[in-house]
Structure 1
Amino acid sequence: MYDLLVVGSGPYGLSIAAHAAAAGLSLRVQGRPMASWRDHMPTGMFLKSEPWASNLSDPEGRWRLDRYCAGQGVEARHGEPIPVGTFASYGLWFARNALPCEVDERAVTRLRARPGGFEAALADGEVVYARTVALAVGVLPFVRFPEALHGFDPALVTHSSHHAELSRFLDRDVTVVGGGQAALETAALLAEQGTRVRVLARADRLRWNDVPPPLERSWWRSARSPHSGLGPGWRNWFYAERPGLYRRLPGGVRARVAATALGPAGAWWVRERVERAVELRLDQEIVKAKEVAGAVHLDTVTRSGVPGVLRTEHVIAATGFTAAAGRLELLEEDVRSRLAPGALEAPAVGPLFESAVPGLFLAGLMTAPAFGPAMRFVQGADYTARTLVRGVRQRLRGPAVRTAVAHGRRTATVPAPAAPARPVPEATGTGE
């Protein structure tokens, strides 16, 4: 039986594994490394985060993105976006160097609690046992569609995270729904390959991030608006650097931040590409959609009540993700139902990322309502990995954990759960 099973091997899963290995835990990591970045983002996309804010985490900080880039003959510069493909390759390099074991690419298809820990069934039927589990499944289980677009054939409606390449849309008419980075960059790539493309968004105007200020500035400019992994400014600095303090904020404040902070916006470097080549239909919400003769007909309405109609060959919903407990389908129902009072709510987590199910730790987007916006980005991986592994070690050696000898081996009994944390609103995010 392993001390820790890490389910998922993206930036959070690999960072947790690196810290767990350094702590001497017996470890197993399941899942295709960097799958979201390798398999669900088209060639030509870039990281929105600064290179220095996109490091995976190991205890000594040895395996940084800038070090990987230097080994490839590329300099990771402030203010210059990193290609998604480079970042994915960096994650694979990190896994080879920071982890003592190879990542097992087989997916976990079912996870259930059992006496002494957890039982995980893999895609080929093998069963793995672990005393604790870190669930770092990324954003793909949580794709969000507008209600009007539910139930369509994927030939007509897809999510932006469903595409590793966009060539199937060459010379076609495509409508991208959303006003964030995923929508705008997808639309730019489509236009640049010859697709007739438009962006349809509820907002009456698009928001664009500013060109970042220089990394080296006068002390007083830095004091007025410090750099952070989530952008300049003291508020962003607090979200990025103090997730533990963020968690202590009143629930109402955290709910407001979750709904408003770091909302949909395009990176400064994609603005010209969109404005020169993409049709923009703003202040329009989809109220009804139907298939007609192999195309999608959209009925829209503006905030002032003006109706509209649009016919398009394909709709790409770049409408983000909702981290609801009910969408964790790999969990057995009895485990899933204990994570949150309602299936559409985000799971509650304690100060060390442990869920209401003892021994089950959560990471990434699921923890954004508790620990703040940093958990929607790679920036949050360092705090999560350090804190979560501390929680795992505490769970394994805590005074409430009883050991027994059975047939010549030690077995651990996980104690009854403590009262779960007060529920907080669902986590939402649009991704990098």
Structure 2
Amino acid sequence: MYDLLVVGAGPYGLSIASHAAAAGLNLRVFGRPMASWRDNMPRGMFLKSEPWASNLSDPAGRWNLSAYCTEQGLTARHAKPIPVEAFAAYGLWFARHAVPEVDERTVTRVTSGPDGFTVVTEDGEALYARSVALAVGVMPFVEVPSALRGLHPALVTHSSHHSDLDRFRGKDVTVIGGGQASLETAALLAEQGTRVRVLARADRLVWNDVPPPWERPWWQSVRSPHSGLGPGWKNWFYSERPGLFRRLPEPTRARIATTALGPAGAWWVRDRVEGAVELLPGHEVATASAVSGGLRLDTVSREGALRTLETEHVIAATGFRARCDRLGLLSAELRGTLATLPDGSPAVGRDFESSAPGLFFAGLVTASGFGPAMRFVHGATFTAATLVRGVHRRLRTTPAGSRVPVPGGRSRNQSPSPVRP
């Protein structure tokens, strides 16, 4: 019987595992490390977050992105984006140094019982744990507009379905969405010779400004402080005080989770899009149908004007919707016990524990409770430390001699860092 099973090996799962191992919990970690970063983002993409806001979290802060870049001879500098491939490699490096060995099998089922949880792997092995942390990332929550659902994957895909875009060379592609995924995908397509257009509901595209210099007069910092989610006091609050965010009234949290840090493109991709990509803001797909050679899209503008266009493929860069009913690895009985928020995401307490005792959630699925930081890597630091304290509260005590050795970390015989109850 394990103290904790961590399901997921992305930035949140690896960070939780690092904190849990250092705190002396008997744990196992499941998942292919950094899988979505390695498999679901095209080559040539960059991390939108600042390098200093993109650290995975270990208790000592030893295995951060800056340390990795220094070791590899790379540059991690404010206002200089990091390639996604480099960030994925950093995550693998973090896993080797700060986390117990990761079991790369996929977890297919989690059920609950009177003594804890049963976790079943893809090859049928059952393991038992007193608590489970689900850090499954974003892939279970892919969202595609209703007008495009049901069409063949040869015609419609989600932006997260592509590790490269080579198949679209010389073709005509329509990208739907006004955020970073849409705009950067469109830029990469245009740069490889694809005829591409971006169709977005908003009346105009939004572009983030170049961040202010790291070193600047004190009065500028006071007026608009740096934060892990960008400059400004609102972003600072969302980024650095998720525990206080959770205390806001639920309707306020829901509104902020829906509207804050809305769709926008990074400043460094703007010149790659404007003038190179056909932009159609203020349009939404009303109906879509397969035709010879691709699809026909019937669109409607904000003013109600209709337009029809034909394209060979649609890439829906339309984000993710974190709902409990999309967590197919949870048994129906366990899903049925979960209290949910109005948006369908799980209601979690101050330490990320759900209404099912011992079942914890991390990442995007907690954004409606803890704020926009949970949509970004930056939120992993707060989550990992807070969630592991919550596991301790649930377990009450840590069994002696149950520590898991961590490569490059403290030895089995060293005392773990204290965790306040």
Tell me the TM-score range normalised by the shorter chain: over 0.9
2:180/2:264 contact within 8 Å kept: yes
Q: What residue in structure 2 maps to residue 104 of structure 1?
A: 103
TM-score (norm 1): 0.91
Structure number with higher relative contact order (C-alpha < 8 Å, ≥ 6 residues apart): 2
Whole-angstrom distance in 2 between the partners of 1:314 and 1:21: 46
Q: Give 1:293 deviation, angstroms.
A: 1.7
State the one-letter code of the partner of 1:233: G
SS of match in other structure, 1:60: coil
State the one-letter code of the partner of 2:66: D
Q: What residue in structure 1 maps to residue 268 of structure 2?
A: 269
Over 3 Å counting, the alpha-carbon distance change for 1:372 and 1:265 in structure 2 is same
Where does the alignment leave 5 or more consecutive residues of structure 1 unmatched?
399-409, 411-432
Q: What residue in structure 1 maps to residue 403 of structure 2?
A: none
Q: Give 1:340 deviation, angstroms.
A: 3.5
Q: What residue in structure 1 maps to residue 46 of structure 2?
A: 46
Q: Give 1:344 deviation, angstroms.
A: 6.1
Is 1:8 aligned to 2:3, yes or no? no
2:169/2:194 contact within 8 Å kept: yes
State the one-letter code of the partner of 1:58: D
Whole-angstrom distance in 1 between the partners of 2:250 and 2:85: 38
Deviations 1:40-93 (A, max 9, x none): 001000000000000000101000001101111112000000000000000000
Q: What residue in structure 1 maps to residue 360 of structure 2?
A: 361
Whole-angstrom distance in 1 between the partners of 2:353 and 2:359: 6
Is 1:29 aligned to 2:32, yes or no? no
State the one-letter code of the partner of 1:131: R
Q: What residue in structure 2 maps to residue 251 of structure 1?
A: 250
Q: What residue in structure 2 maps to residue 135 of structure 1?
A: 134
State the one-letter code of the partner of 2:350: P
Q: Give 1:31 deviation, angstroms.
A: 0.4
Alignment of 1:311-330 (within 5 A): 311-330=310-329
Q: Give 1:9 deviation, angstroms.
A: 0.4
Q: Name the stretch that deviates more: 339-348 or 186-195.
A: 339-348
Whole-angstrom distance in 2 between the partners of 1:264 and 1:344: 19
SS of match in other structure, 1:175: strand
2:324/2:340 contact within 8 Å kept: no
Q: What residue in structure 1 maps to residue 179 of structure 2?
A: 180
Over 3 Å counting, the alpha-carbon distance change for 1:298 and 1:280 in structure 2 is same
Whole-angstrom distance in 2 between the partners of 1:342 and 1:58: 30
TM-score (norm 2): 0.93
Q: Give 1:127 deviation, angstroms.
A: 1.2
Whole-angstrom distance in 2 between the partners of 1:53 and 1:344: 28
Q: What residue in structure 1 maps to residue 197 of structure 2?
A: 198
Q: What residue in structure 2 maps to residue 426 of structure 1?
A: none
Alignment of 1:159-178 (within 5 A): 159-178=158-177
State the one-letter code of the partner of 2:84: V
Whole-angstrom distance in 2 between the partners of 1:216 and 1:243: 26
Q: What residue in structure 2 maps to residue 58 of structure 1?
A: 58
2:177/2:316 contact within 8 Å kept: yes
State the one-letter code of the partner of 2:296: H
State the one-letter code of the partner of 1:135: L
SS of match in other structure, 2:108: strand
State the one-letter code of the partner of 2:362: A
How many residue pairs get aligned? The number is 398
Where does the alignment leave 5 or more consecutive residues of structure 2 unmatched?
400-421
Is 1:146 aligned to 2:174, yes or no? no
SS of match in other structure, 2:140: helix
Is 1:240 aligned to 2:239, yes or no? yes
